[in-house]
């Protein structure tokens, strides 16, 4: 807090006792951070690459297995919010950006059962951009051949989400509505 950052420990996706990354996010508003030259995200462990991990998987693995669902968010904050809504754990993970890497796709395919639904809950700005959405859909096409895949998008044309909102940013009631209206691929 003294450096205006929140630090998220990234545990190895197979070993919940092994920290492989420390991602920090500034708590400054974006305008102030830009004026001061403060990056939004900082990685404190040299060589750590988010595309070789899924934030929250090692901690939420049991919930993913029990619920037969994996919810993919862009960032750590959304995973923590959904865990809070659900009393401490959820079937949520974060990919660490606005795309899914080949390594993450392979991991999901080999570490979830065939009856697990994969739900994309990326930020509103990505889900409403046709070009970005097409890139995402092309990347996840291999998953659609082996898993049920769906995504969350504001079904009411911007009445529930705006800008860069994550589907969990507006609270539990809005999250439940968005989740119930998810679209299958």
Residue 2: is its pLDDT beyond 80? no
What is the reported pLDDT for 149? 95
User: What stretches of the chain adopt beta strand conformation (E)?
Assistant: 5-12, 15-26, 41-43, 69-73, 92-94, 117-120, 148-151, 183-184
Percent of the chain with pLDDT over 70: 98
d(CA 107, CA 119): 15
Model pTM score = 0.90
pLDDT mean across residues, the chain: 91
Residue 137: is its pLDDT beyond 90? no
d(CA 182, CA 25): 29
Query: Measured in Å, how far apart are the chain's first and last C-alpha atoms?
Result: 41
d(CA 146, CA 114): 7
**Strand partners of residue 12:** 15
pLDDT tens by residue, 99-115 = 889 999 999 999 999 99
Q: Is 183 helix (H, G, I), strand (E, B) or coil?
A: strand
DSSP code of residue 23:
E
């Amino acid at each position: 807090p003294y450096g205006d950052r929140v630090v998220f420990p990234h545990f190895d996706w197979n070993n919940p006792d092994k920290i492989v990354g420390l991602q920090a996010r500034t708590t400054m508003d974006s305008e102030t951070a830009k004026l001061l030259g403060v990056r939004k995200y900082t990685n404190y462990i040299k060589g750590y690459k988010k595309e070789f991990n899924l934030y929250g998987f090692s901690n939420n693995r049991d919930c993913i297995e029990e619920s037969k669902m994996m919810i993919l968010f862009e960032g750590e904050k959304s995973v923590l919010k959904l865990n809070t809504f659900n009393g401490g754990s959820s079937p949520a993970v974060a990919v660490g950006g606005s795309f899914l890497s080949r390594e993450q796709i392979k991991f999901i395919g080999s570490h979830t059962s065939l009856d697990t639904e994969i739900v994309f809950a990326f930020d509103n700005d990505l889900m409403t951009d046709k070009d970005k959405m097409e890139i995402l859909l092309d990347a996840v096409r291999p998953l659609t051949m082996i898993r049920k895949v769906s995504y969350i998008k504001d079904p009411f044309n911007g009445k529930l989400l705006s800008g860069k909102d994550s589907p969990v940013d507006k609270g539990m009631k809005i999250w439940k509505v968005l989740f119930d209206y998810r679209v299958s691929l």
